Amino acid sequence: MAKQCNTVYSETSLSKNILSQNKDAKVFMPVFQCYSEEDLIFIVVRGTEKMLTDGITDSQFQPLFCLIDGFNEPIHEGWFKAAVYVFRQVQQIIQFAWRNKMISKIVLTGHSYGAAVVSIISMFFKSYIPDLNQYCVTFGCPPHLGSRLCLKTFGKHYVNEDDPVCRYSKFYIKQEAIQKIVPKQFIDGQLSEWIEQSDYSSSTDLWIPGNILQIKNEVITPITRYQVNIPNIDFNKGDNHKISAYIKVLHNISLQK
């Protein structure tokens, strides 16, 4: 999956069986490819590449409140609009193929901005086609959903050690400030959980959803959304966020098996 995410950055076609795609990124319109292989349909969304288009989408971080599955929860505005765009391009294709038993599953994957987009798309499919068999896996996913929606989502979200983008949220900044006031009083995500349950929480706090898998010292460990917010991340060092970093460490882990 990580290699597919890397390929879409190079604008190379992932398959001869392209069903829908966008090669020219615009604001709220990410580069993506939707293609078929045997009885599967893949949706791969590119991360941030061009600051004048992707970067503007990223910057629209003021949450929208959307009613999904009975929850009126915040969602990152820019990535929500990007997800709506991609979903509209592929919805009828997926629905037709699934209803006519032409596919057994859809697979959604993305890195960074693309990770947030496919995560939101998976929620859309869950609402519009509840019986659809889908698998979502992401790399370097940033916080983008309210806490109650996090509990309604699924999929695997790989978080690299010290990846700053996975902690890029108002909540993380809030935690860093409190951590300086009460250093070493909380461990293993306890501070994040305490803040969420206290008066310091906000209805606009955003999180990474689903099953979060942290990669640290070439070991993959399941963690909670609270444990993502480890302290002392250097936001000026983004090497651990690159898709190439994820490919390298996951390859090294596979060699250990």
* Model confidence pLDDT, tens digit, residues 2-18: 788 878 887 778 888 99
Beta-carbon-side half-sphere exposure of residue 4 (alpha carbons within 13 Å): 20
Would you state the pLDDT for residue 257? 66
Would you state the pLDDT for residue 252? 92
Q: Convert the pLDDT of each residue in 138-172 to its tens digit.
A: 999 999 999 888 876 678 999 998 899 999 888 88
**CA-to-CA distance for 158 and 214, rounded, in angstroms?**
6
The residue assigned the tokens 């699934």 is 98
- CB atoms under 10 Å from CB of 109, counted, come to 23
Domain coordinates in residue numbering, the chain: 2-256
User: CATH number of the domain at 2-256, out of 3.40.50.1820, 3.30.1370.60, 3.40.190.10, 1.10.260.40?
Assistant: 3.40.50.1820
* β-strand partners of 18: 35
Q: Convert the pLDDT of each residue in 200-250 to its tens digit.
A: 889 899 999 989 999 999 999 999 888 888 777 787 878 999 999 999 999
Mean pLDDT of the chain: 91
